[in-house]
A and B are shown apart, each in its own frame.
Chain A
């Protein structure tokens, strides 16, 4: 029986980061992963889709290049190459994680694990491990709609959607969260007629309403047919799918289900230690500890938002807690979110519709008044900032437009450092950059923008 200070179940961005941080603190660490290191994010999520979406962006740019005076003829799509490139990126990074595990002398078990008791983990092949601390980082799996029982290889989850064997002519995407919108944007760019339906009132329902509305308009302009307030009523067929929604029946070549995720806790043995799910996820305290001492949970399995960077941050917290430190807990309102559609959407913190009675000031600055955006044909965009009118605290920022996913970290730093509008105003933003629109949005919130 092998003994470790810390056994981590799941090798995604939560699990592997926790393993590294714990090893840095001098703990002996075992990591159990049944598939590839890097988890969903790296192998079947963030990374390969970014590769595909980049290809889509290049495609869009070549099509729009003529307006810039660059004429490109005979643009063609090689779907297999696109997918291969995305798989290469994922594999390269997964191998990198394996190298990091070796570097930090982390013992990796490529099998499944279950919790036998507090401090005991059973492996499917390598027997039993003893651990002072167990970290559950098993992630989540795409949710299925309970009333849809149609079996067809044309009904895709994200995993199939990012490794298509063919390009569907008509594609139905159910769920307009970040994943649904990204696939809508991808397939639309590749020439597919995309229909996007969403049960909630807005696309990207987690975003600020104003941004959601702008996103819907921009996606519609791309040729995506969008139905909000529209649940999927029925789905049938094998090679040809018939979908019923909004009182109509339509035919599709494929359907992507992106209606959220459920925690991966099957066969983990949670009941042996008395761990229960709360609203589908494991409940943890600010130190990622579950209701059972010595058992921790991080990442998607520990609840929304299901984002890789949230998992990684929780991983750092949990590793330091296990190492006996007292790390600052993660503030959920300080977790940024990004959608890599065209246009991109990025946000952090308070949404305007949630401000309620709070006395806020809202700043808005459009890309059309930003020099870099105009010069580089960045298209439309908006940067919106929300301040506490009493204290000047930056409460939230919401962006839509080209490149905004790389901008949002500026406001993330500002919120984390508790800056007020004054320091943001005093910050010199380089010219010409899109980031100047961030500055102007702050200035606009206080009635003193320069270029508006």
Chain B
């Protein structure tokens, strides 16, 4: 039977999209895993690969706006007849759901910057909130460390079967794009664990399950809830690592997000010429401003110091386009747009969702968006579009009392800014020492792209903006 090619849904917020290019011509042969079409949405461009071997039939022309889940074509075998329109009934009972089961976006198109950690599309749960999967698939997934809630199912009704897990293993080995993140509604937890979590306000998405197949059991929730008290919660998007339990002698398998981070970070250090510098900003006015804004925007947004930094960075990047760039083999590409990534610690590791067009957003809009992203990151509900397209990254460790560090560039970007704690420093008023609020900013940049002087100029602009924070409001 011909297999539908769907317009893939790549994020919660995606409402429409189009085939921007067919990679396989109408009537052309395709092998499973080969790129079939380029998807373009408001936010991202992605390549979509074939789910089966066969001959491609186009149903839509490039450039036609469609809804996610619409059938854009078919893959059929020689001798099979192909409908001229989308199939009704039968296997395609719910195209929007099956869309994700039938096609997988591969890593973002080359022209687009890569997120630190990508994710493949999650399978939608069925109506009753259960993720359909076979026991064999679940067993295999647990054995090889694939998070089944992130897989697309190819079995009847989108059910995840062993083959899908196998495929994910291949993919995770080749592109390291499978990220174990729990979808809130797909959390595998015992009823008792759920109830205790609800009573104690424990976020199950952040709890690692120790039961069969990674099931979260009572003991896991109790451990998470007893450790939570000691968690640091800072002004910036904070770490919620309370659920993680590391024991001496334990061997932590290098898989999933850990593996991705390891590869990306090491590659970054290998491939670039990165170095760091610190500069102190006087934060007295910024502290006052933030206090006022928190009060004034109560119920709307709660700006953090990191939000102020993101706003300052976005403005500074406009003035210093060299820092907003990508190093490529024979050219340095200065990016058109300013999309600032925000490193968020999650129990499994680190995610870098992106605040898009940060330079065009007001401080309040940045505060709202960064809070949404940090929250979604911790709850595991980030869409693929939330990761795409970052041109510069901000990483905050100030809430841990850090004063200086050397963040690692999130390739292919050219710079990353570390946000440190605010501390009581000294300034001189004539010969009199004055107590003042200070914060170091730690910039790592790629020396292949720009030299120390322009990098320092960029950092000085950020520092200036933070020292005169009212400029951040305009």
A-to-B contact residues, CB < 8 Å: 328, 391-393, 417-420, 422-423
Known: A418-B217, A418-B218. A393 touches B212 (CB 8 A): no
Does B191 sit at the interface, judged by CB under 8 A? Answer: yes
Q: What's the minimum C-beta distance from B350 to chain A, rounded to whole angstroms?
A: 26
Are B212 and A392 interface neighbours, CB within 8 A? no
Chain B residues lying within 8 Å of A423, measured Cβ to Cβ, are: 191
Partner of A391, one of B196, B211, B212, B217: B196
Residue of A nearest to B216 (CB): A418
Q: What's the minimum C-beta distance from A79 to chain B, rounded to whole angstroms?
A: 48
Centre residue among B193, B196, B199 by max chain A CB count within 10 A: B196
Known: A391-B196, A391-B199, A392-B195. A419 touches B212 (CB 8 A): no
User: Complex: how many Å from CA A423 to CA B190?
Assistant: 11
Q: What's the minimum C-beta distance from B219 to chain A, rounded to whole angstroms?
A: 9
B-to-A contact residues, CB < 8 Å: 190-193, 195-196, 199, 211-212, 217-218
Are A393 and B218 interface neighbours, CB within 8 A? yes
Are B192 and A393 interface neighbours, CB within 8 A? yes
Known: A328-B211, A328-B212, A393-B218. A422 touches B191 (CB 8 A): yes
Are B192 and A420 interface neighbours, CB within 8 A? yes
Mostly, the A contact residues are loop
Chain A residues lying within 8 Å of B211, measured Cβ to Cβ, are: 328
Q: What's the minimum C-beta distance from A354 to chain B, rounded to whole angstroms?
A: 19
Are B190 and A417 interface neighbours, CB within 8 A? yes
Chain A residues lying within 8 Å of B195, measured Cβ to Cβ, are: 391-392, 420
- Show 27 A/B contacts (Cβ-Cβ < 8 Å), sorted by A: A328-B211, A328-B212, A391-B192, A391-B195, A391-B196, A391-B199, A391-B218, A392-B192, A392-B195, A393-B192, A393-B218, A417-B190, A417-B191, A418-B190, A418-B191, A418-B192, A418-B193, A418-B217, A418-B218, A419-B190, A419-B191, A419-B192, A420-B191, A420-B192, A420-B195, A422-B191, A423-B191
Q: What's the minimum C-beta distance from A317 to chain B, rounded to whole angstroms?
A: 13
Chain A residues lying within 8 Å of B192, measured Cβ to Cβ, are: 391-393, 418-420
Chain B residues lying within 8 Å of A420, measured Cβ to Cβ, are: 191-192, 195
Chain A residues lying within 8 Å of B212, measured Cβ to Cβ, are: 328
User: Complex: how many Å from CA A422 to CA B211?
Assistant: 21
Residue of B nearest to A392 (CB): B195
User: Complex: how many Å from CA A391 to CA B191?
Assistant: 10
User: Complex: how many Å from CA A422 to CA B191?
Assistant: 9
User: Complex: how many Å from CA A417 to CA B211?
Assistant: 9
Chain A residues lying within 8 Å of B199, measured Cβ to Cβ, are: 391
Residue of A nearest to B212 (CB): A328
User: Complex: how many Å from CA A417 to CA B196?
Assistant: 14
Q: What's the minimum C-beta distance from A446 to chain B, rounded to whole angstroms?
A: 14
Q: Which 10 A-B pairs have the closest CB atoms?
A: A418-B190, A418-B192, A420-B191, A393-B192, A419-B191, A423-B191, A420-B192, A418-B218, A391-B196, A420-B195
User: Complex: how many Å from CA A328 to CA B199?
Assistant: 26
Chain A residues lying within 8 Å of B193, measured Cβ to Cβ, are: 418
Residue of A nearest to B219 (CB): A418
Centre residue among B190, B193, B217, B218 by max chain A CB count within 10 A: B190
Q: What's the minimum C-beta distance from B214 to chain A, rounded to whole angstroms?
A: 12
Residue of A nearest to B222 (CB): A391
Q: What's the minimum C-beta distance from A332 to chain B, rounded to whole angstroms?
A: 14
Q: What's the minimum C-beta distance from A408 to chain B, rounded to whole angstroms?
A: 19
Chain B residues lying within 8 Å of A419, measured Cβ to Cβ, are: 190-192
User: Complex: how many Å from CA A392 to CA B217?
Assistant: 14
11 A-B pairs besides A328-B212, A393-B218, A418-B217 with CB distance below 8 A are A391-B192, A391-B195, A391-B199, A391-B218, A393-B192, A417-B191, A418-B190, A418-B191, A419-B190, A420-B192, A420-B195
Chain B residues lying within 8 Å of A328, measured Cβ to Cβ, are: 211-212
